[in-house]
A and B are shown apart, each in its own frame.
Chain A
Amino acid sequence: EAQVTQNPRYLITVTGKKLTVTCSQNMNHEYMSWYRQDPGLGLRQIYYSMNVEVTDKGDVPEGYKVSRKEKRNFPLILESPSPNQTSLYFCASSRIPGHMPLHFGNGTRLTVT
């Protein structure tokens, strides 16, 4: 089954404790991206990757890191999480960036206390 898999689904952590949210897709998509969803703000793009070893900032990259060492994986790293990063995070992939629809993972609800 074609899918984007995010883990974990729920995560509660404390300020400053490094964490990684994993994202993997099995559709051989070149394009992958991360979004955060906050009430009243919709989805905002954090980072995206056009291909392996090619990443770029979205609208809200501060406090986040990403890497794209393999085509299928695109982890989101929070080196020192803060409470303002409490949010619902979605990973997505697409066959052709911009042209084709995004396939989303099921989301990761992160709470930073």
Chain B
Amino acid sequence: AQKVTQAQTEISVVEKEDVTLDCVYETRDTTYYLFWYKQPPSGELVFLIRRNSFDEQNEISGRYSWNFQKSTSSFNFTITASQVVDSAVYFCALSVASGGYQKVTFGTGTKLQVIP
């Protein structure tokens, strides 16, 4: 069975602070993909990043960075120097696809509020 845990339900930070959103996953499959999506107050879901299970290289994109560690089954997301526009709900997702089988499991989301 697959599971994604985002233990932080809500986080509030003051603008310009750094913030890390945690994601812990469980799967028995050796090949899988991890994703982060952002849902701003307007409600749409926006893709941020994808990682496959064989690529543990961390990634930085502007103020965003991701730390993937298979040893701890974690795929954490850090926003540096947060801005009000970062206020959103962030979802971590785990995806497995093999032959005719496919399953995507989302975490329950972390609501980030950046206070000006």
Contact = CB atoms under 8 A, between A and B. Distances in A.
B35 interface: yes
A31 B102 CA distance: 10
Contacts, number: 65
Contact of B102 (A35, A48, A90, A107): A48
Interface majority SS (helix, strand, loop, mixed), chain A:
strand
B97 A42 contact: no
Contacts of B9: 40
Contact of A104 (B32, B44, B97, B103): B44
Contacts of A40: 9, 108
Contact of A97 (B6, B91, B102, B108): B102
B13 interface: no
B91 to A, nearest CB: 6
Interface in B27-66: 32-33, 35, 37, 43-45, 47, 50, 52
A54 B100 CA distance: 9
B104 interface: yes
Interface of B: 6, 9, 32-33, 35, 37, 43-45, 47, 50, 52, 91, 93, 95-98, 100, 102-109
